[in-house]
Structure 1
Amino acid sequence: MIHLEFNEVSAVEDFFWPEEVTDISIESPAVLFFTDFEKTKPLVIDVSTSADLARLLMLREHVKLKLVVDSDDKFLGVVSLDDISEQRIAAKLSKSIKRDSITVADLMVSKRDIKGFDFSEIERVDIGSVVHHLKHNGQQHCLVVDKEMNRIRGIFSASDISRKLNLPINVQDQSNFYKVFSALAS
């Protein structure tokens, strides 16, 4: 074992602070705002995790969304706190389905139902464009895909963007009626 010594800190007054872009605005490059999985480990949950445990873990970790993976860490979809709410879990219950047998797989959004931004596009746009698309589509989160590598590169979070810009970004989830109406109108 290597010997370590404690040092006095009474004369220390300053901190190291992470480098931050101080003059960010709605016109700032979008790449400054997404969680890049090359730099930050993605928050994942196994598809076979019970819905109750997933909810408990997400509440404890203060996260609203996790990426769902299989036992080989392959991407399957996403699950949000809304997806595993008490109401949604209760709706799955029946005489043949018991609460402890409901898993993330039963409540998640499959990757076939998810759209994301291409990383090469994100490198060319400002965060205002991303915010517009999130608001227009009623999305709190959006994945960023590196199409060349065929990998999930990262994720945008409306709450993270709001915090960095110090601006309220109110993203209202569109009702199913609105989504159906919009699809029929276009």
Structure 2
Amino acid sequence: MTKLAFYQISDIDQLEQPEEHTQLDLKSPATLFFTDFQRVTPLVTEADMPAVQARELMRRTHVRMKLVVNRANQVIGLISADDLIDRLIVKKVSEGHKREEVTVEQLMTPRKELQALDITAVKKASISDVIDILKDNGEQHCLVIDREKHHIRGVFSASDISRKLHLPIDIQEKSSFYRVFASALSA
């Protein structure tokens, strides 16, 4: 074990900078903004985890979205902090479930309802293109898939994009009416 020590920085006033400082803007390649699961381990939660426990864990770790996996470690859905609000848990309780027994799986968005961008198209897109589709669909997150390999490759997060660009990105969630109307059109 290495013993660490603190030092005063009163005489140090320069910041280290990358040698190749890339200025990011709306025309920057989209690939510079997505969390690539080939480089970063995806954040997951088990389907049978109690929703209240998952919400607390996500709150403490400042995570807004996780992929949901079954016992075989296969992705079965996605859970966001918005899916874990008290009102939705109470709704399940009113349906006859015990609060502590409401699971992530009962509140998640199932895989069959998720949409994603293909990595091939993402490699050709600018981040402005991604922001447009997020805004058009009222989505804070968007998965990226590799259709050839049948893998979930990564995820875009509006808050991560906003941080990297130093720009506010206002994504308005589609209204309930809009979602019902859109699903009726696609039926």
With normalisation by structure 1, the TM-score equals 0.89
| Structure 1 residues 10 and 56, CA gap change in structure 2 (3 angstroms) | closer
| Structure 1 residues 29 and 6, CA gap change in structure 2 (3 angstroms) | closer
| Structure 1 residues 124 and 99, CA gap change in structure 2 (3 angstroms) | same
5+ residue gaps, structure 1, are none
| Structure 1 residues 87 and 121, CA gap change in structure 2 (3 angstroms) | same
Give the corresponding residue for 2:144: 144
| Structure 1 residues 18 and 99, CA gap change in structure 2 (3 angstroms) | farther
State the shift of 1:158 in Å.
0.3
- 1:180 has 2:180 as partner: yes
- 1:78 has 2:62 as partner: no
Give the corresponding residue for 1:29: 29
Give the corresponding residue for 1:130: 130
2:51, 2:19 → 1: CA distance? 38
| Structure 1 residues 169 and 95, CA gap change in structure 2 (3 angstroms) | closer
1:52, 1:94 → 2: CA distance? 16
Give the corresponding residue for 2:103: 103
The farther-off stretch of 169-178 and 95-104 is 95-104
- Corresponding letter in the other structure for 2:84: I
With normalisation by structure 2, the TM-score equals 0.88
Question: What CA deviation, in whole Å up to 9, does each residue of 1:82-133 have, x standing for no partner?
Answer: 1011110001113731111100011000000000000011000100000000
Mapping of residues 44-55 of structure 1, within 5 Å:
44-55=44-55
1:79, 1:108 → 2: CA distance? 5
5+ residue gaps, structure 2, are none
The 3-state SS of whatever aligns with 2:76 is strand
| Structure 1 residues 83 and 23, CA gap change in structure 2 (3 angstroms) | same
State the shift of 1:180 in Å.
2.9
Question: What CA deviation, in whole Å up to 9, does each residue of 1:12-45 have, x standing for no partner?
Answer: 9577666775311100000000000111110000
CA RMSD between the two structures: 2.5
The farther-off stretch of 4-13 and 19-28 is 4-13
The farther-off stretch of 158-167 and 11-20 is 11-20
- Corresponding letter in the other structure for 2:149: M
State the shift of 1:162 in Å.
0.5
1:5, 1:86 → 2: CA distance? 44
- 1:166 has 2:170 as partner: no
| Structure 1 residues 36 and 21, CA gap change in structure 2 (3 angstroms) | farther
| Structure 1 residues 166 and 88, CA gap change in structure 2 (3 angstroms) | same
Aligned residues: 184
Name the % identity.
42
1:20, 1:112 → 2: CA distance? 41
